[in-house]
């Protein structure tokens, strides 16, 4: 995916401003040697943050959220704070 890449300690966000597509957000959580239970927990947390915080402010374009290995040990609040900071930096 081409576009702006913004990276933090826990997550990476890539964004493109494609005016012809509706707003889409993808979440990628690689295994990083963790169990499926751990992976699904991180995915559910990120989905909830996007649903409650980002979708109301969405403009057209695409966003991809990529979880880094440190995201597995982070709390919900820390994930939310970093994701919102990265969304602001990416201009989403």
Which domain covers residue 68, as residue numbers?
A: 4-90
Beta-strand relationship, 4-7 and 11-16: antiparallel
Whole-prediction pTM value?
0.86
Tallying the residues shown for the chain, one arrives at 92
List, for residues 52-83, the tens digit of each pLDDT value. 887 666 666 788 999 999 999 999 999 999 99
Q: What CATH number did the domain enclosing 40 receive?
A: 3.30.230.10
Domain count, the chain: 1
Measuring CA to CA, which residue among 74, 78, 9 is closest to residue 38?
Answer: 74
| Pairing, β 62-67 against β 24-28 | parallel
Phi, psi of 47, deg, nearest 5: -60, -40
């Amino acid at each position: 995916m081409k576009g702006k890449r913004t990276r933090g300690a826990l997550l990476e966000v890539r964004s493109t401003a494609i005016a012809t597509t509706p707003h889409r957000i993808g979440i990628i959580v690689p295994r990083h040697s963790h169990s499926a239970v751990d992976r699904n927990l991180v995915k559910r947390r990120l989905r909830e943050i996007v649903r409650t915080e980002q979708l109301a402010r969405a403009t057209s374009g695409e966003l991809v959220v990529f979880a880094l290995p440190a995201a597995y040990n982070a709390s919900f609040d820390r994930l939310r704070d970093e994701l919102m900071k990265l969304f602001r930096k990416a201009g989403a």
